[in-house]
Amino acid sequence: MLSTPLFGVLVLSQSKAFNCPNCPIFGSLIAFRLFYALDLGGTNFRVLRVQLGGKDGGIVSQEFAEVSIPQDLMVGTSDELFDYIAAELSKFVAQEGPEFQLPTGRQRELGFTFSFPVMQSSIDSGTLIKWTKGFSIDDAVGQDVVAELTRALERQGLDMRVSALVNDTVGTLAGGRYSNKDVVAAVILGTGTNAAYVECAHAIPKWHGLLPKSGEMVINMEWGNFRSSHLPLTEYDYCLDAESLNPGEQVFEKIISGMYLGEIVRRVLCRIAEEVSLFGDTVPPKLKVPFVLRTPHMSAMHHDTSSDLKVVGDKLRDILEIPNSSLKERKLVVQLCDIVAARGARLAAAGILGILKKLGRETFKDGENQRTVIALDGGLYEHYAEYSKCLESTIAELLGEKVSESIVIEHSNDGSGIGAALLAASHSQYLGIDEP
């Protein structure tokens, strides 16, 4: 395993290396073509259609649809999950207008963003190692997820080839690097979390093959699985981990990502209610239900600026069935949200600093006009303003004013899906064939 220093004393493992072709990162792209992407990485998935055109194969247009995954499919069978996904993808294609119809004999091509740990043996195949983020489908573990999706597409009668398999961070990095050469890393902060960065190939001890012509490779860090005695874990974190579907795994993810922040708040509130009767003599029954308080609820309460904290009161009533909370109780809830969010954001910032240190970009070098861009995607970063604000201010705090001026955190909306479509284009079966 490749071990990468993270913020001095922390060490990340289970990293994966991916070939990074000649700049631009994709090699050749086909102009005037349609490519698709399926982005599966949490409780929702996206299907995208990207139209490329022009001499440089630039993005002409893009459209997407977002679909929620029913809870029972997250713990069902592989066929059930992939059949559901393939059916939604088929609906998306069926709604296309005549301008998106391919020439006779041409097969649609798809980039598959699959944001779970896989052992990837080629650009279009990968064996699932384990599930994370609330998924637990036993018969899929050890299977090639591209083959599983392909069979589901065939059952739907959809003629579509999976040209590239990537995870969301690699897709986001590819999409960001495609349009901006200063992008050196990508971070996902959503339901789960991960990071990837561009590394010099000769600095990768685990790589034993031929060096790529570009001299660079992409490292998928799988940093959600990082754990260390230096992490500030509390009794709430230990209990959450022990009761999760994957005890002892994805520890870093469980304290900084969107799936778990609201649950941490619920657990602390429940303890306070038990010990000091925060919401009356009895603990509200709903407060004892795991994951009833989701991170979007937490975010809404954290951002409440009304004088009486009405939003907080409404959430407590509607979600936890606490009808008559006092202003003092509501203020405590906001304070707790702030503490949990700040811890997560500051730890995420420490992880980003670790990448910058590995790349030698954490210091200011005289005479260099260096610009470093981190492509960041994910619903947690995009929608939880207090979290993202704390993340960015912590990076500035850790780097210092002079260095932080050269570091840019760039929101890469739909970056992983677009990157997957572009990588599908660069690995198309029709490369070198004249367009009709």
DSSP annotation string for 117-159: -EEEEETTEEEE----TT---GGGTTSBHHHHHHHHHHHHT--
Nearest alpha carbon to residue 164 among 13, 73, 311, 37: 37
Annotated active-site residue 346? The verdict is no
Looking at residue 170, what DSSP letter applies? H
**Contact present, 331 and 299 (Cβ < 8 Å):** no
Q: Which residue has the tokens 């004249």?
A: 434
Tally of CB atoms within 10 A around 327: 12
**Contact present, 352 and 3 (Cβ < 8 Å):** no
Annotated active-site residue 371? The verdict is no
**Contact present, 237 and 344 (Cβ < 8 Å):** no
Tally of CB atoms within 10 A around 176: 26
Among 15, 39, 46, 163, the active-site one is 46
Among 15, 78, 90, 115, the active-site one is 115
SS3 324: coil
Q: Identify residue 127 by its one-letter amino acid code.
A: T
Nearest alpha carbon to residue 190 among 117, 132, 270, 119: 132
CA 13/CA 223 separation, integer angstroms: 7
Annotated active-site residue 138? The verdict is no
CA 4/CA 14 separation, integer angstroms: 10
CA 259/CA 237 separation, integer angstroms: 13
Peptide linkage before 24 cis (omega within 30 of 0) = yes
Q: Identify residue 245 by its one-letter amino acid code.
A: L
CA 378/CA 397 separation, integer angstroms: 23
Looking at residue 282, what DSSP letter applies? S
**CB burial of residue 64 (10 Å; 0-12, 13-18, 19+):** middle
Among 124, 168, 377, 414, the active-site one is 168
Looking at residue 279, what DSSP letter applies? T
Q: Which residue has the tokens 């080839």?
A: 161
Cα dihedral 273, 275, 280, 285, rounded to 10, equals 50
Looking at residue 308, what DSSP letter applies? T
**Contact present, 184 and 372 (Cβ < 8 Å):** yes
As annotated, the active-site residues are 46, 115, 168
